[in-house]
Amino acid sequence: MRFFVPLVMLIICKFAVADKTNDQLDIYWIDVEGGGATLMVTPQNETILIDTGNPGLRDANRIVKVLTEVAGQTQIDHLIVTHYHRDHYGGAEMLSTLVSIGHVWDNGKFDGMPDNPGQAYFNFRCKQRHVLQPGDVVPLKVDSSHQQPLQLQCLVARKEFVSPEKVNARPNPDIEKLHKPKERDGSDNANSIVMLLKFGDFEFFDAGDLTWNQELKLVSPFNLVGEVDVYQVTHHGLDSSNNPIVLTSLKPKVAIMNNGHEKGCLPEVFANLSTTDSIESIYQLHKNLRPDGDVNNTQSERIANHHSPDECNGNYVHLSVAADSQSYTVHIPATKHQQTFATK
């Protein structure tokens, strides 16, 4: 099938070229209505997109808008697809018709894969495809003469976990006692790729939709992640993920949830986030508009979108890490909220 690129997209791609020169790291959580699309822009102006939202033009256009109009970039250098559910891989084919995509990193095709995205996904245009293995480091440009160390590493892929030795993991012997098993998730959620981004002293954790029982292996018997600054709330805030032993072990200071107006932000998850001692602020892409929303929402100014999809403006959440990596600022332009945190 051939897609036609809207004229507005062509105009955006042609003229949005204002590269940043301040050596900071930027992360954008793009509103794809309860799916996943997290854009990172490195100090060297390399772009990394983790997941692509849903099929169709809406989410692809929102990604391109933030990429070009807000971040001032014209291409996606690295695309990481955490797993094969439509709200994570679905926008890739359309996105590839709007902007150039360099390297694609995913789980490839593997024996026993429970969900297959189909040939359209595996054939969309890009420079090169790679299958991620636990421990792999995505090659990123770094100016070592003045820039903070930068690393984006895969910790988990296809239910395989990085070896403790490879990440200098510390034993976490007592945490399993707090684990309460849940029913097994037989979908591709359990195969989610887990990525850890380090920029100097700053660390950001993104586990896609990794599920509850798999999360145990992240932190027991070894904590394979360590402690992080920012935790992307796993699986949109659904309670088949976000095992509290992960929160206890990772000790994030900020949690950012890519939920939808009625998807995610479930009571158990919100309660666990709210009672985790290390967490100072919770951010949401959407206000929870279910009847339980009166108690299961963060502060209004920390929510990017307050309306149902037919009235939603697709507002984003922006995080910028200072060039020295000693602090980071979370900003929601739509509500004018801004708060700066010290790196752990």
What local confidence, expressed as pLDDT, does residue 113 receive? 94
Q: What is the mean pLDDT of residues 182-192?
A: 94
Among 8-22, 36-50, 147-161, 328-342, the range scoring the smallest mean pLDDT is 8-22
**pTM score of the predicted model:** 0.94
Q: Write the DSSP assignment of 134-202 as a string of letters.
A: TT-B------TTTSPPEEEEEEEETTEE--GGGGTPEE-TTGGGG--------SGGGG--EEEEEETTE
Flag whether pLDDT at 11 surpasses 50. Answer: no
What local confidence, expressed as pLDDT, does residue 208 receive? 98
Q: What is the mean pLDDT of residues 2-13?
A: 40
Report, in angstroms and rounded to the nearest whole number, the Rg of the chain calculated over CA atoms. 19
Among 5-9, 118-122, 161-165, 207-211, the range scoring the smallest mean pLDDT is 5-9
Q: What is the mean pLDDT of residues 158-186?
A: 95
Task: Judge contact between 238 and 259, C-beta under 8 A.
Answer: no
Band (144; pLDDT cuts 50, 70, 90): confident
What local confidence, expressed as pLDDT, does residue 10 receive? 40
Distances (CA, A) of 152 to 51, 137, 239: 15, 6, 27
**Domain definitions of the chain by residue range:** 21-342
- 21-342: CATH architecture: 4-Layer Sandwich (3.60)
For 8, residues 6+ apart whose C-beta sits below 8 A from its C-beta are none
Among 3-7, 129-133, 278-282, 329-333, the range scoring the smallest mean pLDDT is 3-7
Q: What is the mean pLDDT of residues 215-219?
A: 98
For residue 15, the tally of other CB atoms under 10 A from its CB is 11
Percent of the chain having pLDDT more than 70?
A: 94
What local confidence, expressed as pLDDT, does residue 282 receive? 98
Q: Write the DSSP assignment of 272-311 as a string of letters.
A: HHHH-TT--EEEEEE---SGGGGTS---GGGEEE-S-GGG
Question: Could you give phi then psi for residue 326, rounded to 5 degrees?
Answer: -90, -10
Band (20; pLDDT cuts 50, 70, 90): low
- Let me know if 251 is exposed, middle or buried by CB neighbors in 10 A (0-12, 13-18, 19+): middle
